[in-house]
Amino acid sequence: MKRGQKSAMIALKIPPAGEKAYERNGAMKITFLGTGNAQATACYNTCFVMEEGGKCLLVDGGGGNLLLRRLQDTGYKWQDMRDIIVTHKHIDHLLGIIWMQRMICQNMARGKYEGEARLYAHEEVIRILHQMAEMLLTEKERKFIDERFFLIEVKDGETREIIGQTVQFFDIHSTKAKQFGFAMTLKDASASNSRSSTCRSTTCASTSPRVILTLSSPVWPRPRSA
């Protein structure tokens, strides 16, 4: 592990070489866009995409508009991120979301974004995003906030249905900033019972064999040749 990285633990079902097992088995795919903490310069800040059945959930946004490039490099379009969770207000998790808010509302105003998008966070984060929209977006762009781009406040213990999965939010009682984690119950298509995958902010632990970890492109820069 490189200095500045955060740890991540996930129970993996490793696909055979060259196969996309998440597509074959309908498994949850998790793509890490970055694993760096706030001080990291050699890798992008921690955020990831959870995908199942063609639906995508973006968890946090890293520290800036490089988020858009990270999504592109891993085979996603920013428009694919119709559901977003923001865990807390620290800038290495929030600034990329400011860019997502701009891109979504700006393209809605230009008639280039169809449908809706939803962002889930606790009250403090929702309040900050409303304030940022008021300060940074035009009136034509702002009108789509809570009309088609919904900033949804969630509370400790609240349950929501997101990308077809049951998600329960919980306060992790961080001493640095109010921070929510979430527990996602994965629906097993091959069995009548459900299995749970629990994510605490950026550190995830899963007991489900249906979670596939993928790094579709390098998270860190490749070493330069001597």
Residue 143 pLDDT: 97
Secondary structure of residue 74 in the 3-state scheme: coil
pLDDT for 110 equals: 97
Q: Residues near 21 by Cβ (< 8 Å), separated by ≥ 6?
A: 13, 14, 15, 27, 212
Read off the tokens for 19. Answer: 């196969």
Crossing angle of helices 123-136 and 91-109, rounded to 10°: 50
Chunked into runs of 10 residues, the chain (226 residues) has average pLDDT values of: 41 46 65 80 83 93 88 94 95 92 97 97 97 96 97 97 93 92 75 45 37 41 42
165-171 sheet: strands from edge to edge:
159-162, 165-171, 180-187, 194-200, 203-206
Residue 88: left (phi > 0), alpha (psi -120 to 50), or beta?
Answer: beta
Count of C-beta atoms within a 10 Å radius of residue 115: 8
Beta bridge partners of 196: 185
Please give the Cα distance from 127 to 125 (Å, whole number).
Answer: 5
pLDDT value, residue 109: 97
Closest CA to 94 of 125, 50, 49, 118: 125
